[in-house]
């Protein structure tokens, strides 16, 4: 049987281990290395991939779906569509990743010898209905594919063809909605089926069942859910969509998604669903989840810090493919609209559609990973219009925007779009800036989670603030959906250029 969880030790750092919009983690171990994949929804490239040696410090090594042939997200598809819930596994010398593109090709499989890429052309699996697909191989090499619902079939992963009819194998806890995110494992004498249920909001939880064979019958754990924070004031909420992995010392751990609501009632989470780490022990051959906390106890193996993501990008690149993997666009990254060579040393964006209010917006950004942070960009509107955005979706974003005449702060909240303030633009390129400040003290139950400040740096006047806005309107609790904030640059009309972009967590 698996070993117990590690003994308690002094705390060493904070959860989440992957901050910001990194939901639906799936993890696999190969030797001393761990690899993790997350959902990416409407953003391109799709499925960010991370590497770690200690389960705590993760470095992004690439994106699995980084070519148009792999990822087809129509330009008219809505936000929170696109790529849902990958499963990452290693089998017979290959990494296998199965994922659902709900806006395009359905379930698809890609493989790689090296998870940093390149990943193969996709194998489509039209015989596999549903979302959140999982792959597991039994001792005789049969591949089992399990999806939300929870249903299962035997699958040939090389062709995407089903080898057996679809069977319902478990429906989760009676009365709990949305059984999803299945992962199937052989651990000791049993096959364990881990699922999320209760919906991906405050009622989210993790439950488990076991069987002697991968196709069941499955016996539910008598104390399901084995993890949930529903109906509590715990600082980590919406806990679910988990994957199990063994630590370097043989102990067991779970990576899962959760959110950190802030402000008053009902609490607003703005960074999206993040990835957390929690220990797992085994009792009577059932997994027992330890305490999930914002502080993480020291591990019984060495921690291996990794280099921080560079704060500044200067876009001195020979090709778009050299962009660091944390940069993401909306639905595609066509060379007709993005260039690093048209004006050497600058990123050039050519607009299409109606700017950020449209699904085909030309936008390049990175996830907000800190509750308090800032972004600055050196921006030249040239003969166009665009700027710096704090984006949640097409209908929820704040921007500081410039054209040939002026600089303005704009808020889009649901059906309303408002220019909040405007000033004449100083000549030449200018620094656009946003500062995000987490709420430290509640004034009353309605206090928002943070404040978003928009402005620009005037050569004579310093930082000119155009607007200070309540951040709750760029939260999932207001906007709905499954994503988190992304900060970045965009073109709304014509052509714009960006010399550099700098993201910094707030000190203190």
List the domain boundaries for the chain: 11-297, 312-505
- Please report where in the chains the tokens 């007709």 appear, as a residue: 336
Q: Residue 322 to residues 59, 318, 326, 498: CA-CA distances in angstroms?
A: 17, 7, 11, 16
Predicted pLDDT at 508:
60
Q: Given CA atoms 245, 249, 250, 252 in this order, what sign does their dihedral have?
A: negative
For residue 11, pLDDT beyond 50: yes
What value does the mean pLDDT take over residues 125-145?
Answer: 96
What's the confidence (pLDDT) of residue 88? Answer: 98
CATH 2.115.10.20 given to domain 11-297: yes
Average of pLDDT values for 34-42? 98
For residues 274 and 261, what is the distance between their CA atoms, to the nearest angstrom?
11
- Band the pLDDT of 3: cuts 50, 70, 90: very low
For residue 262, how far is the Cα from the chain centroid?
19
Per-residue model confidence (pLDDT) at position 41: 98
Is the pLDDT assigned to residue 6 strictly greater than 50? no
Average pLDDT across the chain, whole number: 95
**Cβ atoms 222, 241 nearer than 8 A:** no
| Alpha carbons 463 and 431: distance in angstroms, whole number | 9
Tracing tokens 């705390």 back to the chain, one arrives at 11
Say how many C-beta atoms besides its own lie within 10 A of residue 343's C-beta: 16
The predicted pLDDT at position 303 comes to 86
Give residue 229's pLDDT band: very low, low, confident or very high (50, 70, 90). very high
pLDDT the model gives residue 20: 98
HEC assignment per residue over 333-396: CCCCCEECCCCCCCEEEECCCCHHHCCCCEEEEEECCCCCEEEEEEEECCCCEEEEEEEEECCE
Mean pLDDT over residues 19-47, rounded? Answer: 98
What is the DSSP code (8-state) at residue 479?
A: H
Task: Determine if residue 305 is left, alpha or beta; phi over 0 gives left, psi from -120 to 50 gives alpha, anything else beta.
Answer: beta
| Overall average pLDDT of the 186-196 stretch | 97
Model pLDDT, residue 309: 80
Q: Is the pLDDT of residue 458 over 50?
A: yes
Residue 300 pLDDT level (bands cut at 50, 70, 90): confident
Asked if residue 2 has pLDDT above 80, the reply is no
Mean pLDDT, range 339-367, rounded to an integer:
96
Tell me how far apart the alpha carbons of residues 216 and 204 are, in angstroms, rounded to a whole number: 25
User: 117-128: string of b/e by CB count within 10 Å (b at 16+)?
Assistant: bebbebbebebb
Query: Within 10 Å of residue 431's Cβ, how many Cβ atoms?
Result: 18
| Cα(342)–Cα(338) distance, integer angstroms | 9
Confidence of residue 383 (pLDDT cuts 50, 70, 90): confident
Per-residue confidence band for 9, with pLDDT thresholds at 50, 70 and 90: very low
Q: Is the peptide bond before 225 cis (omega within 30 degrees of 0)?
A: yes
- Alpha-carbon distance 194 to 6, whole Å? 21
Residue 298: pLDDT above 90? Answer: no
Q: Would the CA dihedral through 180, 198, 450, 306 be positive or negative?
A: negative
Q: Does the structure show a pLDDT above 60 at 23?
A: yes
pLDDT-derived band at 385 (thresholds 50, 70, 90) equals very high
Output 260 or 6, whichever has higher pLDDT: 260
Residue 477 is among the residues annotated as catalytic for this protein: no
**Residue 13: predicted pLDDT:** 63
Kindly tell me if the per-residue pLDDT of 437 is higher than 60. Answer: yes
pLDDT score of 446 more than 90? yes
Q: Which of 54, 180, 395, 477 is catalytic?
A: 180
pLDDT at 1: 52
Gap between the Cα atoms of 247 and 283, Å rounded: 18
Specify whether 24 is catalytic.
Answer: yes
Yes or no: say if 312 and 324 are a contact pair by the CB < 8 Å rule.
Answer: no
Please say if the pLDDT value at position 408 is more than 60: yes
pLDDT of residue 12: 56
CA within 13 Å, CB half, 386: 32
* Paired strand residues for 404: none
Three-state DSSP class for residue 477? helix
Cα(234)–Cα(250) distance, rounded to whole angstroms?
29
3-state helix, strand, coil in the chain (%, to 5): 5, 50, 50
- pLDDT tens, position by position, 58-99: 999 999 999 999 999 999 999 999 999 999 999 999 999 999
As a whole number, mean pLDDT of residues 326-344 equals: 97
pLDDT at 87: 98
Assess if CATH 3.40.50.2300 describes domain 312-505: no
Q: What percent of the chain has pLDDT over 70?
A: 97
The predicted-structure confidence for 207-219, as pLDDT tens digits, reads as follows 999 999 999 999 9
Please give the span between the terminal C-alpha atoms of the chain, in angstroms, as a whole number. Answer: 45
Q: Which of 24, 134, 243, 401 is catalytic?
A: 24
Q: What is the mean pLDDT of the segment spanning 9-32?
A: 87
Q: What is the pLDDT of residue 7?
A: 42
């Amino acid at each position: 049987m698996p070993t117990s969880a590690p003994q308690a030790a002094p705390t060493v750092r904070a959860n989440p281990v992957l901050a910001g919009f990194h939901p639906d983690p799936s993890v696999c171990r190969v030797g001393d290395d761990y690899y993790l994949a997350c959902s990416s929804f409407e953003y391109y490239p799709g499925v960010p991939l991370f590497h770690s040696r200690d389960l705590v410090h993760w470095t992004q090594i690439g994106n699995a779906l980084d070519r148009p042939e792999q990822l087809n997200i129509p330009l008219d598809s809505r936000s929170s569509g696109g790529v849902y819930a990958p499963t990452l596994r290693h089998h017979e010398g290959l990494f296998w990743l199965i994922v659902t593109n709900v806006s395009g090709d359905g379930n698809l499989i890609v493989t790689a010898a090296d998870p940093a890429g390149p990943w193969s052309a996709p194998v489509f699996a039209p015989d596999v209905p549903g979302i959140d697909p999982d792959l597991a191989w039994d001792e005789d090499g049969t591949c089992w594919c399990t999806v939300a619902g929870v249903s299962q079939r035997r699958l040939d992963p090389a062709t995407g063809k089903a080898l057996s009819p679809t069977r319902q194998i478990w429906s989760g806890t009676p009365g709990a909605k949305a059984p999803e995110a299945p992962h199937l494992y052989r651990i000791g004498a049993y096959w364990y089926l881990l699922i999320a249920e209760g919906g991906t909001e405050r009622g989210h939880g993790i439950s488990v069942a076991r069987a002697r064979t991968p196709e069941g019958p499955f016996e539910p754990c008598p104390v399901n859910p084995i993890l949930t924070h529903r109906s509590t004031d715990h600082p980590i909420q919406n806990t679910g969509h988990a994957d199990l992995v063994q630590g370097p010392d043989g102990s067991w751990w779970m990576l899962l998604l959760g959110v950190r609501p802030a402000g008053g009632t009902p609490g607003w989470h703005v960074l999206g669903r993040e990835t957390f780490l929690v220990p797992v022990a085994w009792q009577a051959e059932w997994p027992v989840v330890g305490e999930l906390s914002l502080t993480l106890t020291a591990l019984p193996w060495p921690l291996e810090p990794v280099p921080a993501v560079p704060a500044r990008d200067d876009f001195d690149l020979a090709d778009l493919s050299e962009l660091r993997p944390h940069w993401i666009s909306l639905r595609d990254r066509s060379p007709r609209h993005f260039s690093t060579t048209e004006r050497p040393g600058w990123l050039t964006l050519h607009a299409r559609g109606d700017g950020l209010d449209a699904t085909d917006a030309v936008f390049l950004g990175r996830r907000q990973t800190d509750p308090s942070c800032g972004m600055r960009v050196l921006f030249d509107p040239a003969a166009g219009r665009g700027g710096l955005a704090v984006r949640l979706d097409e209908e929820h974003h704040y921007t500081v925007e410039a054209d040939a005449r002026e600089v303005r702060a704009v808020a889009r909240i649901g059906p309303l779009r408002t220019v909040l303030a405007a000033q004449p633009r100083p000549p030449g390129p200018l620094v656009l800036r946003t500062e995000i400040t987490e709420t430290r003290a509640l004034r009353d139950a309605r206090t928002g989670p943070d404040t978003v400040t928009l402005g620009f740096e005037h050569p004579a006047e310093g930082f000119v603030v155009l607007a200070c806005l309540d951040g709750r309107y760029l939260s999932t609790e207001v906007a709905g959906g499954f994503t988190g904030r992304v900060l970045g640059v965009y073109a709304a009309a014509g052509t714009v250029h960006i010399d550099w972009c700098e993201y910094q967590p707030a000190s203190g």
